[in-house]
């Protein structure tokens, strides 16, 4: 396999004196990705605790629920309904409008950082 891909991959591997991208912009994009994916990270940690049997009582409840849903063929509707309830609860916690904000960049950034911190705090509970 290495022999077959050697000619194709060689054109993409070069030694650079200077990177073809800006490190600071890459860091900013990565930071945004980490902040934006905080609820998913929390969810992944909860799923990890279930499949590793860290709390056997909780895992047993999820196993029983999954077995009933599988038997009645309602797994997909359960997942979609549970996610829509979570989104609805998250939307209710946000303010109705942005009219109370000043329109300068600093106030908008501080507002959205507070909102993302609240969402992260709620997702880690």
Q: What is the pLDDT of residues 37-59, one digit of tens each?
A: 888 888 889 889 999 999 999 99
- pTM, full prediction: 0.42
Does residue 34 form part of some domain? Answer: no
In a domain, 4, yes or no: no
Q: 87 in a domain, yes or no?
A: yes
Give domain status of residue 84, yes or no.
yes
Assess if residue 66 is contained within a domain.
yes
Q: Quick one: pLDDT band at residue 61, thresholds 50, 70, 90?
A: very high
CA angle 12, 14, 19 (to 5 degrees): 105
- Residue 58 inside a domain? The answer is yes
Domain housing 112: 50-93+100-123
User: 118 in a domain, yes or no?
Assistant: yes
Domain count, the chain: 1
For the chain, helix, strand, coil in percent to 5 are: 75, 0, 25
């Amino acid at each position: 396999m290495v022999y077959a891909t050697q000619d194709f991959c060689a054109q993409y591997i070069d030694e650079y004196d200077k990177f073809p991208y800006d490190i600071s912009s890459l860091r900013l994009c990565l930071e945004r990705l980490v902040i934006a994916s905080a609820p998913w990270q929390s969810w992944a940690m909860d799923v990890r605790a279930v499949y590793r049997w860290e709390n056997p009582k909780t895992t047993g409840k999820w196993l029983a629920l999954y077995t009933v849903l599988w038997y009645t063929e309602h797994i997909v509707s359960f997942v979609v309904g549970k996610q829509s309830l979570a989104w609805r609860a998250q939307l209710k916690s946000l303010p109705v409008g942005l009219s109370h904000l000043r329109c300068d960049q600093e106030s908008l950034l501080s507002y959205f950082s507070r909102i993302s911190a609240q969402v992260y705090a709620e997702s880690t509970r």
